[in-house]
Amino acid sequence: MSDDTTIQSVLSEDRVFDPPADFAQRSGGAWIESIEQYCELHAQSIADPEAFWGAVAEELHWFKHWEKVVEWQCPDARWFTGGKINACHNCVDRHVDNGFGDQPAIIWEGEPVGDEGPEIRTLTYADMQREVSRFANALKAQGVGRGDVVTLYMGMVPELAIAVLACARIGAPHSVIFGGFSAQSIVDRVEDASSKVVITCDGAWRRGSVVPLKANVDEALTITDVVEQVIVVKRCENDVTMQEGRDHWWHDVTASVEDECPCEEMDSEDMLFLLYTSGSTGKPKGIVHTTGGYLVHTFLTSRYTFNLRHHQDHVYWCTADVGWITGHSYIIYGIMQNGIPSLMYEGAPNHPGPDRFWDICQRHSVTHFYTAPTAIRAFMKWGEEHPRRHDLSKLQVLGTVGEPINPEAWMWYHRVIGHERCPIVDTWWQTETGGHMITPMPAATPTVPGSCTLPFLGIDTAVVDETGEEQPADTGGMLVVRKPWPSMLRGIHGDRQRFIDTYFSAVDGMYFAGDSARRDASGNFWIMGRMDDVINVSGHRLGTMEVESALVSHDAVVEAAVVGMPHEIKGTGIAAFCTLSGDWKPDDALIDTLRAHVAAEIGAIAKPDMIRFTDALPKTRSGKIMRRLLRDVAAGREAAGDMTTLEDFSVLAKLRSDED
Ligand code: WTA
């Protein structure tokens, strides 16, 4: 395999951006001030993880102190064993107890914009304590107790955060399903988790129309009989059918309950939540996260990666949906533990216009902004006049997550959104890792467009071959984590063997992330994509991402997806799907130009064998390009397998019909 993963050609990137000199001053200080300090701390944290993570855990509230920081017997990690803790207490009650009850915890903005602007709700920590306690009592009254999995299938409304924290308060693990998933996905997940209670909304606003969440739940419940109770938040006032005895309105069940509900003293290793994520094949995996370690890790990464500081008028906004791990860790748990106002926006980035995000940033004086490369590429396509119309001068740190960011998108983010004064934190991590694993420290790490740079403190990532041997600089290999970390997954719900096979079988004694990567001579990590996104052209391994970045670096191309396709001579050829910016014509001359451009950027080996122009790329609802479908299109095969997450089926139909 080491041969396979050797990169023959490397997209070269020599732009390096030092942290802005006035960063610490604009942010009221910095937790990690220099690269030297980072290096020293990182070395210490790896040499003595117990001392490092133990000191972080001391900052949280524990009902009972832990006995041991970590017990590790690969693949099983136990963190802060013997400790008793509650996640909701650390996100909410702790701040009220410390006298910050009147500070904003959640700032929520709805999607519809009326004559007086959008609806805005601000919930302080004291409000959250009251609302969460009320809903926790309502759950208890419905018979929900410690250990019962509660499913949340909701829009981005404050009740979603309230429900998440209410579950944590009473020790009932939550399983949040993204509101864009189908009825069948609900069935699969409630059955796998044996979840008897579903919390939903009548509907959710998305680009001006109502997503019928309750109707989807109804449909799911005609297929499965696992679910006994449904609680419904009234949001859009769309028509819904309420089934007597099974369905209850949120406002009814919370009407006559007490305002106070004690936090359950949970064992550090009790399950906090389940979150389903798709694997390369088969049904979605229920990733199990537990309490103490997850809290410690999300607390520290939120603080250091974003340089969040109390009483500095920070307003933090992560644009992800709570249905994904990013929303769990970096809208709710990590951010709220730090006592920083977390902005939640209900709807689409282009409703009512393509400047909605920038309008929000301006009106709420957003200081920390966290989004995904796919969104950034959309903003690029819509044009920089939209952000230019708004005052973005309060921004301090820009984050990105979810997929490798093309250097061109990075530069646009840096220039147009960050006005060249905001460090970009490109955070590599996964549902399974629970929190950030590789990321710059904004005041310390020199950043390079397209690289997620260096491992977080206490994290031992490496690029290795299948024997666990570290690869030399600029040589691709498997991305692994060699030491346990506090927020690592504890298993796949109900499937021990799949847990071992997926994560702990590729390299002995190490967690295998499923990604390929390389490190450059400065030690920076470059994620090349999922292992199955690496293509072997004439015996040379190429990261699809590198070819994509090369294409996108040409003015004509807005977004590109590259997959392998069968090729008589080369074994695998390169197929590229591109969306074009406004004034470019999709003709043969442009194909020649782009092939030459890629050859110039990377080398002749990377020249696409086929370039197809398209209006849009097929994406999952979380914005990831559906490469499996594109591979099928490139190979001229019928697309096979699970398509339930395809955002827009018409994109695929269009790509196909163009072939005819
Ligand atoms: C990819 C999202 C490059 C990667 C938090 C990983 C990234 C998968 C980055 C996890 C990044 C995430 N640079 N690739 N900064 N962040 N990825 O579980 O392939 O939805 O394995 O978690 O996204 O996706 P997941």
Q: How sure is the predictor about 541, in pLDDT bands with cuts at 50, 70 and 90? A: low
DSSP 428: B
Residue 256: pLDDT over 80: yes
Give 56-79 pLDDT, tens digit per residue.
999 999 999 999 999 999 999 999
Average pLDDT, stretch 495-503?
A: 94
Among all chains, which residue has been given the structure tokens 């590198």?
Answer: 546
Q: Count each helix (H run) and each strand (E run) in the chain, helices first.
A: 22, 30
Classify 525 as helix, strand or coil: strand
Q: Report the range of poorest mean pLDDT among 369-383, 539-553, 567-581.
A: 539-553
Residue 247 CA to residue 241 CA, distance in Å, equals: 9
CA of 428 to the centre of ligand 1 (A): 6
Structure tokens at 531: 């292992």
Per-residue model confidence (pLDDT) at position 649: 46
Residue 645: pLDDT over 60: no
| Residue with CA nearest ligand 1 atom 6 | 430
Mutate to test the pocket of ligand 1, among 430, 480, 511, 626 (most ligand atoms within 8 A of CB): 430
Neighbours of 63 (CB within 10 A): 13
Q: What is the mean pLDDT of the chain?
A: 91
Mutate to test the pocket of ligand 1, among 502, 518, 527, 533 (most ligand atoms within 8 A of CB): 527
Residue 513 CA to residue 648 CA, distance in Å, equals: 29
Task: Give whole-number Cα distances, 286 to 188, 310, 620, in Å.
Answer: 10, 35, 18
- Stronger pLDDT, 606 or 214, i.e. the higher one: 214
The reply to whether omega before 352 is within 30° of 0 (cis) is yes
Residue 224: pLDDT over 80: yes
Mutate to test the pocket of ligand 1, among 297, 319, 321, 403 (most ligand atoms within 8 A of CB): 403
Judge whether 199 and 151 are in contact, CB under 8 Å: yes
| Residue with CA nearest ligand 1 atom 22 | 430
Contacts for 460 with CB less than 8 Å, ≥ 6 apart: 46, 481, 482, 483
CA of 635 to the centre of ligand 1 (A): 26
Contacts for 148 with CB less than 8 Å, ≥ 6 apart: 172, 173, 195, 196, 197
| pTM for the structure as a whole | 0.86
Give 430-469 pLDDT, tens digit per residue.
999 999 999 999 999 999 999 999 999 999 999 999 999 9
Give 352-364 pLDDT, tens digit per residue.
999 999 999 999 9
| Residue with CA nearest ligand 1 atom 15 | 428
Bridge partners, residue 541, by sequence: 7, 536
Give 321-350 pLDDT, tens digit per residue.
999 999 999 999 999 999 999 999 999 999
Average pLDDT, stretch 283-299?
A: 94
- The three-state (H, E, C) secondary structure of 140-204, written as one string: HHCCCCCCCCEEEECCCCHHHHHHHHHHHHHCCCEEECCCCCCHHHHHHHHHHHCCCEEEEECCE
Average pLDDT, stretch 204-215?
A: 95
* Atom number of ligand 1 nearest to Cα 426: 15
Per-residue model confidence (pLDDT) at position 6: 36
Q: Which of 576, 568, 578, 558 has its CA nearest to residue 631?
A: 576
Q: Report the range of poorest mean pLDDT among 279-293, 366-380, 383-397.
A: 279-293
CA of 416 to the centre of ligand 1 (A): 24
- Cβ–ligand 1 distance for 302 under 6 Å, the answer no
- Cβ–ligand 1 distance for 551 under 6 Å, the answer no
